[in-house]
Structure 1
Amino acid sequence: MSINLRKPFVAGNWKMNGNLALVAEFNQKLANVKADSEIVICAPSLLLHAFETHSFAIGAQNVSHLNNGAHTGELSVEMLKEAGCGYAIVGHSERREDQGESSELVALKAKQCVSSGVVPIICVGEPLEVREAGDVESFVGEQLDALVSAMSVDELSKTVIAYEPIWAIGTGKTASPEQAQEVHEFIRGYFNKVDAQLAQGLRILYGGSVKPDNAETLFAQKDVDGGLIGGASLKAEDFISICQAAN
């Protein structure tokens, strides 16, 4: 697989934001968007039914690693598929930190998604203290180790990786294009040691205060294939600009 065949990918993560009025606005404004990138909106589960998918797909912000059973509040991948989801975010830093999700659990969630035909958007990334200590590669590498331990090369090829420096999420700080490329290159190199074809085809997104005014520069980096967008994904015009920047 050629590197040039990696289709740009932009996913919006609404987090615990949004309402039916915002969904209606996105349905209207994104209906005829001209973008060569693959576009996904990951909204709160209770809003998913209201999307009228035209030029974009919908995804969940979390998924259980289990099929069904006595697990109050959890949603299975099959439930999400019935709701129209083709994607699911797994391992977002907020869930790793706030809900104590381990890298091993994240890997199980990713594997569960792939087994049911849902594409997991797997988040990895380091906090500020790790960045300042110069331990980014070892920290992110351990998160990737859990994926490789649980998933086959074929399964991994059906995933998307999102690198999110935790210190740049919701802080207004953004990794420089060079910093983003450095870690993306490390991630692709990590997977190249697993399987060269997997590494060439794997889409790696950058997430961390991506905005219309910095998206084009970030996405121009050799190993950055798009973005996982937080706050800017709640503004239709901004999100459209970012999607077009990924072309």
Structure 2
Amino acid sequence: MMRKGIIAANWKMNGTHTEVTQFVNALATFAAETPGTKPVEVVFAPPAIYLDLAQANLAQQSSNLATPFSLAAQDASQHDNGAYTGEISMAMLRDMNCQHVILGHSERRQYFAETNAVIYEKITAAFNHGITPILCIGEQDQDNQQGKTTDVLTEQLALAIEKLSENQKQQIIIAYEPVWAIGTGRTPSIDDIEKIHQKIRSIFTQNNDTIARDLRILYGGSVNPDNASAIFKCPNVDGALVGGASLKIDSFKQIIKAY
């Protein structure tokens, strides 16, 4: 069985009304003109304030798309509603037909002190509202240097492994992003990327062949048009979570083409 790949654009806190509109329209034109032979889904995660705009533009282009497109939020609350000023709930995301949500990104862990327990609560909330979580995991540079990568990833995955149902484990998307590679231009070797993805598949599926077959694992961390093709040749890599290189449509299109 061939897993459908995902190429996701995480814009973080970047973009304007005009840029989001231009990006969606350019992607739609690109998809209509260059249908791929390998199953792939393109996911766009603009700032939350522009999700509705992106959705409206995608809806206008839907009849022309040969490649599936969907939207992701960059984060959302574990709470369904209440006095949480500035937060956005999973129910709100579902209301605007947002299909994915990125959870546990290293920047959320670092700058907003999100713990594995909080991230798991958000995963549960996402599934409760029919939204597919993209769970980010990854080690710090010092962990990598000390040979602790597997220990860190195992800890970050522990609650999901223990508590998610088999069906949820098949649906969740894992994004491996070594923290030391995000925005730095540094990446692990291709051999290391494959070995770590293979290890993640083994850790998460607990030798369950059904889950292992369906689980999609993305690589993130300084993915660009120059290294994407080599990364995508790894058998256990099912796509990419792209940061800075997704802000320019031409570079993002090249990464899609590489897949």
TM-score with structure 2 length normalisation?
0.91
In structure 2, what is the equivalent of residue 61 of structure 1? 74
- Distance, in Å, in 2 between the alignment partners of 1:199 and 1:226 is 16
In structure 1, what is the equivalent of residue 134 of structure 2? 121
The one-letter code matched in structure 2 to 1:98 is: Y
- Distance, in Å, in 1 between the alignment partners of 2:162 and 2:125 is 14
Structure 1 residue aligned with 2:245, among 218, 232, 235? 232
In structure 2, what is the equivalent of residue 198 of structure 1? 211
- Distance, in Å, in 1 between the alignment partners of 2:72 and 2:46 is 7
* CA shift for structure 1 position 28: 2.1
In structure 2, what is the equivalent of residue 19 of structure 1? 16
Gaps of 5+ in 1: none
| 3-state secondary structure, aligned to 2:226 | helix
In the alignment, does 2:41 pair up with 1:38?
A: yes
The one-letter code matched in structure 2 to 1:112 is: A
Q: With CA pairs under 8 Å and 6+ residues apart, which has the higher RCO, 1 or 2? A: 1
* CA shift for structure 1 position 177: 1.2
Give the conservation status (yes or no) of the 8 Å contact 1:170–1:209: yes
Instruction: Could you list the structure 1 runs, at least 4 aligned residues long, displaced by more than 2 angstroms after superposition.
Output: none
Give the conservation status (yes or no) of the 8 Å contact 1:170–1:231: yes
- Distance, in Å, in 2 between the alignment partners of 1:116 and 1:244 is 32
- Distance, in Å, in 1 between the alignment partners of 2:76 and 2:208 is 27
Matches within 5 A, 1:76-91: 76-91=89-104
Q: Percent identical across equivalent pairs?
A: 40
* CA shift for structure 1 position 27: 2.3
Matches within 5 A, 1:165-244: 165-193=178-206, 195-244=208-257
Give the conservation status (yes or no) of the 8 Å contact 1:107–1:150: no
| 3-state secondary structure, aligned to 1:30 | helix
Length, aligned pairs only? 243
| 3-state secondary structure, aligned to 2:227 | helix
The one-letter code matched in structure 2 to 1:29 is: A
Give the conservation status (yes or no) of the 8 Å contact 1:206–1:226: yes
In the alignment, does 2:143 pair up with 1:130?
A: yes
- Distance, in Å, in 1 between the alignment partners of 2:117 and 2:169 is 15
TM-score with structure 1 length normalisation?
0.95
- Distance, in Å, in 1 between the alignment partners of 2:27 and 2:166 is 34
* CA shift for structure 1 position 39: 0.5
- Distance, in Å, in 2 between the alignment partners of 1:22 and 1:150 is 40
Gaps of 5+ in 2: none
In the alignment, does 2:6 pair up with 1:9?
A: yes
Let me know the Cα RMSD of the aligned residues: 1.2
* CA shift for structure 1 position 194: 5.5
The one-letter code matched in structure 1 to 2:200 is: I
* CA shift for structure 1 position 168: 0.1
* CA shift for structure 1 position 192: 3.2
